[in-house]
Structure 1
Amino acid sequence: MSVFAVEYVYAADSEAVRDEHRPTHRAFLTGLTAETGDVALIAAGPYTDGSGALLMFSAPEEAVLAATLKNDPFAVHGTISALRITAWAPVTGELKHHA
């Protein structure tokens, strides 16, 4: 498994739609565990300026993660204007055991 940092950039004027779908978005993310499939959420949270979010996942490869994220309610309802997936190698700190 590899670790990936995912950056969501929220679409302009999508706050109301995000508010509406936030509960299902969070349920989707917390449902991604090693026990339920290949993709597991490590950590996630919005930027404090409201522009987007940073999410960390464990997944076998980027393509599997990208396919999974297409089912995120935020993606389904068009609240993400840009998505960036980057492989990441945590070598120190609390997340290093995921590498």
Structure 2
Amino acid sequence: MSVFAVEYVYAAGSDATRDEHRPKHREFLAGLGANGDGLALVASGPYVDGSGALLLISSPTQAALAETLANDPFAIHGAIAVLRITEWSPVTGELAHHA
């Protein structure tokens, strides 16, 4: 299992779309792994400046994660302009046990 840092850069002018779909987006994130696919949300949250968000997600593969994230309501409704997925190794600190 690997941990991935996922960066969402929000689409310009998507504030209303995100507001509308935020409850389903959060429900989607909270449900990661519920179907036995091996995914698990480690942490997530928006950038304070409103430009995007950072998600830390445990997943068996990057491909599986990318496929799953395509079903995020924010992605479905065009609120994400850029999606970047990078494998990450938490070596020290409170998240190190995820490595």
TM-score interval, normalised by the smaller of the two chains? over 0.9
TM-score (norm 2): 0.96
Stretch moving more, 36-45 or 71-80? 36-45
Q: Does 1:29 align with 2:20?
A: no
Taking only aligned residues, the RMSD between alpha carbons, in angstroms, comes to 1.2
Instruction: Give 5+ residue unaligned stretches, structure 1.
Output: none
Where does the alignment leave 5 or more consecutive residues of structure 2 unmatched? none
- Which one-letter code corresponds to 1:47 in the other structure? Y
Please give the alpha-carbon distance, in whole angstroms, between the structure 1 residues aligned to 2:85 and 2:6: 5
Distance 2:34 2:5 in 1: 17
Query: Tell me, what secondary structure is at the counterpart of 1:86?
Result: strand
Give the SS at the match of 1:9: strand
Match of 1:82 in 2: 82
Identity, % of aligned pairs?
70
* TM-score, with length taken from structure 1: 0.96
Q: CA deviation at 1:36?
A: 4.0
Task: Point out 4+ residue stretches in structure 1 off by more than 4 angstroms.
Answer: none
Between 9-18 and 27-36, report the one with greater CA deviation.
27-36
How many equivalent residue pairs? Answer: 99
Superposition pairs of residues 52-71 of structure 1, within 5 angstroms:
52-71=52-71
